[in-house]
Structure 1
Amino acid sequence: MAAAVIAGAVFVLTGCSAETNEQWSRLGLPEPATEETPLIGNLWVGSWIAAFAVGILVWGLILWAVVAYRRRSDELPTQTRFNMPIEFLYTVTPLVVIAALFYFTVDHQNQILDTSEEPDVEIGVIGQQWSWTFNYLDEDVYEVGTTTDIPTLYLPVGQTVEFTLDSPDVIHSFWIPSFYMKMDVIPGRTNSFQVTPDRQGSYSGKCAELCGAYHSSMVFNVEVVSEQEYEDQMQQLRDEGQTGEIEAPLRGSYSETPLTEAGGEQ
């Protein structure tokens, strides 16, 4: 039976594409697109390895107990009130596993959320019902999305980008799956994080928080491009008159005052 299972697994895997096999090695994560993704990817894969190790140990002990202590006669086995080695094992082992996972999680989290480095590009993100606004703060231009007009976020490859996240209405969540990073966008609180895209290409972004009736419309495109293409896109926004900074109104005034451009209503 074991040989049949192994043969079947090999048959299935050999029929997969190289891309699918790579995704299997990442345990379902998409192809990474930033310098920070190994921090999250390694923690993800390591956690699964630890989970499988614990599962194999538990299943092994269960099967061993089933076989070694199976019923052999009608004689009642010796009854004991406790077994110190076993009780010590199932008390200490979970503590060791949890302590190790906690240490690596906190260590990676501190590195992922570190914003002490001076960014090359600063982008203000506003999550509003139900789309996204991107302020390119260094370039003094912006792009506003709607439920029918999906916005596109442009990022220069190889440069550190700092996102600052704000919301005028409800809690959203800014998520680019290929960046292995998402963060809540909370009214009255500005969150931020940094990434350095290291692979040009087109990616998808979305809201990962159920935020209302048109939550499914909160999607956006991401284009990681060369520095020259990035500058060309910024110039195009200027040519279209999308200059200045869009500001999110205070919570509670959103229904009467939509997103406002510094200096006048938008």
Structure 2
Amino acid sequence: MSSQDRTGGKSARIAKISSISLAGALLLSGCSTEAQNGWLPGDRNTTNHTGLITDLWVNSWIAALVVGVITWGLIIWCMVAYRRRRNDTGYPRQLSYNLPLEIFYLTIPLFMVLVFFYFTQRDQGIIDTRVEDPDVIIDVRGKQWSWDFNYVKQDKYSTGVQAELTGEPGIPDKLPTLYLPVNKSVELQLRARDVQHSFWVPAFLQKRDLYPGRVNYINLTPTQEGTFDGKCAELCGQYHSEMLFNVAVVSQEEFDARMETLEDGQLGDEYDRDSYPDTDPDFDPARSS
């Protein structure tokens, strides 16, 4: 057996062992719950949308990984099969074009983009569809650096103040809390009182920006009781990191009881920055509570 054959056989064995090792590692990592959820926060049963979002995320990564493995495999195969041998002289045969390959390089990426677009557009349309008559409507007002929650149908409101982190471990006890009844359709109407903010509950796998003078919406149905962390995800000023809140998903009975403890009425546009009293330039409703 020539040295060239021995080298080629050794390279083939190395490639085979590497492929088997990679496949084994992927199979083992796929057994964990975290891997099945794509290492996303929370789980797939938190709202009626988290399962759909999780599947889109995980399947997109699977498709990307398959494409990556095929691409890496072809690169390695070309490096091994078409490497320059010790006794080679001159240049390899040159090709000016290869029509089948050029068609392949055009059609396959185009097909992949269209498939990704189809599933993304389909799922996004389902997630963003507004419920015609939601059970609960909450007017969420982001402000520097806290949140106001108006429960529209109950004609109740709660107002929050800045978290004021001290650097000590743990989260402050007094954070504004958004109450949601479990298994009830909810529409969140998102507005900003001053600058751009972003409403983000990581466990819900949804984030939506708040713009002054514009209303954005999140429609969902919480399907799991519990308390979840919320925060502003848009750099909105010096104390952006302290713009925290909680979301408490509770039973209908507890939700009704919580509503009885809140103030009557709604906190509307009169507390927006453009509506601050001219007689008091230091007036800031975010800290007036």
1:224 corresponds to 2:249: yes
The amino acid that maps onto 2:35 is: W
1:27 equivalent among 27, 35, 38: 38
Alignment correspondent of 2:199: 174
Q: How much has 1:89 moved relative to structure 2?
A: 1.6
Q: How much has 1:117 moved relative to structure 2?
A: 3.1
1:107 corresponds to 2:122: yes
Cα offsets for 1:31-66 (capped at 9, x unmatched): 131011122111111111111111112111101111
Alignment correspondent of 2:265: 244
Q: How much has 1:253 moved relative to structure 2?
A: 3.9
Answer yes or no: is the 8 Å Cα contact 2:202–2:230 preserved in 1: yes
Answer yes or no: is the 8 Å Cα contact 1:247–1:259 preserved in 2: no
Alignment correspondent of 1:60: 73
2:227 equivalent among 185, 188, 202: 202
The amino acid that maps onto 1:140 is: D
Q: Name the larger-Rg structure.
A: 2
Q: How much has 1:174 moved relative to structure 2?
A: 0.6
Distance in 2 between the 1:132 and 1:10 partners?
44
Structure 2 regions of 5+ residues with no counterpart? 1-16, 164-173
TM-score (norm 2): 0.80
2:152 equivalent among 137, 147, 152: 137
TM-score (norm 1): 0.87
How many residues in Structure 1 have an aligned counterpart in Structure 2?
252
1:49 corresponds to 2:62: yes
Q: CA RMSD in A?
A: 2.4
Secondary structure class of the residue paired with 1:245: coil
- The percentage of counterpart residues that share the same residue type is 44
1:123 corresponds to 2:145: no
Alignment correspondent of 1:80: 95
Structure 1 regions of 5+ residues with no counterpart? none
Answer yes or no: is the 8 Å Cα contact 1:188–1:251 preserved in 2: no
Alignment correspondent of 1:152: 177
Answer yes or no: is the 8 Å Cα contact 2:128–2:219 preserved in 1: yes
Deviates more, 1:226-235 or 1:75-84: 75-84
The amino acid that maps onto 1:170 is: V
